[in-house]
Amino acid sequence: MPKPKPAPLPANTTGLAGLDRVLHGVRAGDNIVWEIEDIAEYRELVAPYAQAAQDAGRHLVYFRFANHPALLPDSIQAEICEVYPSRGFENFVRDVHAVIERAGCGANYIFDCLSHLAEVWGSDQSLGNFFMLTCPRLRDLETVTYFGIYRDRHSIYALEPILHTTQFYLAAFHLHERLYVRPIKMRYRARGAFHTTHMRQGDAFLPVKESAVLAQILTHTQWPRLQSDRRVGFWRKLFDEAHTVARDHRAGLCPRERYDDLLRRVRWALRVHRSGLAPLVERFLTLDDFLLIRDRMIGIGAVGGKALGMLVARAILRARDPALAGRLEEHDSFFVGDEVFVTFLVRNGVWWLREQQKLPAFFLHDLEEGRQRIRHGKFPDFVLEQFRGMLDYFGESPYIVRSSSVLEDALGNAFSGKYESVFVVNRGTREQRLTALLHAVRRVYASVLDTEALEYRKRRGLLDSEERMALLIMRVSGAPQGRYYYPQAAGVGLSYNPFVWHPDIDPRAGVVRLVFGLGTRAVDRCDDDYTRLVALNAAQRRPEEDFDNARAHCQRRMDCLDLRRGEFVSRPFPEVIAEPLEFSLDPYITYSSDNYPWITFDRLLTETPVAADLRQMLALLEEVYEHPVDIEFTLNFLADGTYRIHLLQCRTFQFRRETGTMAPLAPDAHRRLLVAHGAVIGVSREQRLSRIVYVVTAAYAKLGESERYAVARLIGQINRLHSPDDRGLMLIGPGRWGTHSPSLGIPVSFAEISRAAVICEVVEMHERLIPDVSLGTHFFNDIVEHDMLYLAYFPRRNGNQIDTAWFTRAPNQLRSLIPEAKKLASVVRVIDCDAADGPIWLRADATTQESFVFQTK
């Protein structure tokens, strides 16, 4: 059977049908500027364009003026016009326009690479002026014209007039012998392809959607760096010298002493010495690493703890296990230096107001005024210029603006969840996208004045420490799937597992919490749903006792970005996967007998090396950190069947390991007030209790929502009245402590329970509630940092018991503590243990997952 002939190309065309579709057609009058790395890329694109013009019988004119090889193949018949920029700007313009006028309407043109003009004339402005004089006339004559310009060679004095004047500005580059095209400007065309990278495959140009692939492509190609400092100041002098030293070091021409000295100066400029990670930074980050930071940096100064933690963790894996590092998704993040934050505060009248936060007597004063000034603050022009450069790089890929303060993620001070992180869907015009970015940055800056963050700093003795907010801006890992954007899986990982629910589990192997979609459901306590908890040495061993319970506790909702509405959303899982998917659900889903999909991750954990990779990653990081670590990550499978793990964050995990087994409790020696066989998260202990706050389940269940919030505020008052030196406070209450939903528990903030030594969740508020949902969340990390013990009591589990008569009969000290709280005395009982008939003790064994509250005689 004869092969069908391809459809004829239109009269105006690039010569590549797939590229025509990306550009939504080529029209008479279009000027097309190709931004290239080398002349071979331009020749590859010129050849089909010239061939199509010849096939269509069009008049083709080639302006030849540069010293690079000729662009046209010998087979192409064209009018070759040699013009000479060495004769001066005026003569060159006159000669080119004479040819254009003679050729008249409807011709096709090819110009040599325009960068040669700036070299000859020694002026980017002259190049820009030539283009502004020539491009409109070519448009008026309904021509189609190709121009080339080298990437990263020109200042805004050339680029701005070209971008402003041309109809198309297209970036072309090669990676691994493939050609990629990225439209930067498409005037009067549909926006669908704008800033989307397309890969050439034959005559087709396929959009690249996966974040892992995009980051790899863009980080391995040249792009205009963000450095806006055009005058030579301290910062630019330092990094110009660093570039020279790094180049000489790679060539073996730089003495080690000079390299080490320059590296110390760069670390000082980035304020690494102020970070708790300084020793690891000195061991693992090279001068080339710092130069990459500088190229992607907005402003100057420190990049903060979260950014350094991510970079150091990746460098550790690069050094210790290159094969594992090769399976990481490349980050192409940007860093906003802390000096931008300081400048913003100074210029918007917030500096002196914020200074009073260092004084314990005033640290909560005037917060709303400060937040309002930040939310409406203005940025300097040089920062806005760099923000625009970053947006041009990201195109319309979603990103997240993350806090990375100087104090954040340091040893012992994680600031977990204390500062904002803001997703930006990043759609619309350039100015709309800039407005969305500035709104996100201001939100993160304003969170420095949040009450919870300041309370945390006060508890950790950090009020008088200089807290500066740097930012880490990261491409959102994942890909668009229909109207939604999300990674296939995400989670948190702990190198030490504090919840050993089965004898098969080795706590030293680590644990992860997995979710389908964005990882926000893994780090924030999602009251309406569940996650998959995975002990990394026994990945198939679930906390649930049987299949029915496992299915009942599967994830039902997922977080994602709605590209159509331009916002972060939580949606039922079946609703999201009803959209067209470009990946297989098989690793994540188990189907029931009636073909209903359940998120189980079973095949991911049993048929792929993902669990082994995560275990190895956590083990290596803990070994180097010499401390348990906590990571955040995403996971995506690519079209070729391989996967990429995106390591988003790494910090120390302040958990004390078990040091030995406890002797068994004598069965008849004590009066048992509470016996719980369930979750025990924390270090085993036996300690005397001084006070128990007991929330009566039946009474609490009768309260309305506003009254339940009143209970939470009351517990906060009790907490503040308890001596911070007394570590004998235990809280017992129904449902989840720290919930956002009063229907599922007690909606306290961590500050309202910060002086407790033990919290116990009575699993009665929600029939499907399981306690391990908080493992790895911001709430859980606060518990860990304060060495609290977390217990769960299941009323219906065999062997569990609670002496409700004793708890309701014991004298209630609430009225004497807070007289105005008498209306809630039937709900909240404050029991002073020293006033009881005998000492009251807590005994909790994390190894056996058993806990007891008992009274000695």
Q: In sequence order, which residues have a C-beta less than 8 Å from that of residue 580 and are 6 or more positions away?
A: 481, 482
pLDDT for 699? 92
Distance from chain centroid for Cα 245: 32
State the pLDDT at residue 769. 43
* CA 375 – CA 444 distance, rounded (Å): 10
Q: Whats the size of the chain, residue-wise?
A: 857
First to last CA, the chain: 98
DSSP result, 515-552: ESS-THHHHS--TT---EEEETTBTT--SSSSHHHHHH
The DSSP secondary-structure symbol of 413 reads: B
pLDDT at 765: 59
Please say whether the dihedral angle defined by the alpha carbons of residues 282, 285, 288 and 290, taken in this order, is positive or negative.
negative
836: how many CB neighbours lie within 10 A of its CB?
A: 16
Torsion of CA 569, 575, 578, 581, to 10 degrees: 30
- Averaged in consecutive runs of 10 residues, what is the pLDDT profile of the chain (857 residues)? 56 91 92 94 95 94 96 93 93 95 95 94 90 94 96 84 93 88 78 76 88 84 58 74 92 93 92 86 95 91 92 97 96 92 88 73 76 92 90 91 79 64 92 95 90 71 74 96 96 86 86 92 71 89 68 85 95 93 93 84 95 97 93 95 95 64 54 85 84 93 93 94 90 86 85 90 61 54 74 85 91 92 93 85 84 86
CA distance 529 to 517: 13
Sequence letter at residue 698: A
**Contact present, 325 and 317 (Cβ < 8 Å):** yes
- Gap between the Cα atoms of 444 and 274, Å rounded: 21
Single out the residue of 541, 498, 536, 491 nearest to residue 518, CA to CA: 491
Give the model's pLDDT for residue 232.
46
Quick one: pLDDT at residue 770? 45
- 489: alpha, beta or left? (left if phi > 0; alpha if psi -120 to 50): beta
510, 536 Cβ separation under 8 angstroms: yes
CA 48 to chain CA centroid, Å, is: 41
What pTM does this model have?
0.81
Q: Are 851 and 674 in contact (CB under 8 A)?
A: yes
Helices and strands of the chain, counted as H and E runs: 29, 38
678 in Cβ contact with 797 (< 8 Å) = yes
3-state SS class at 660: coil
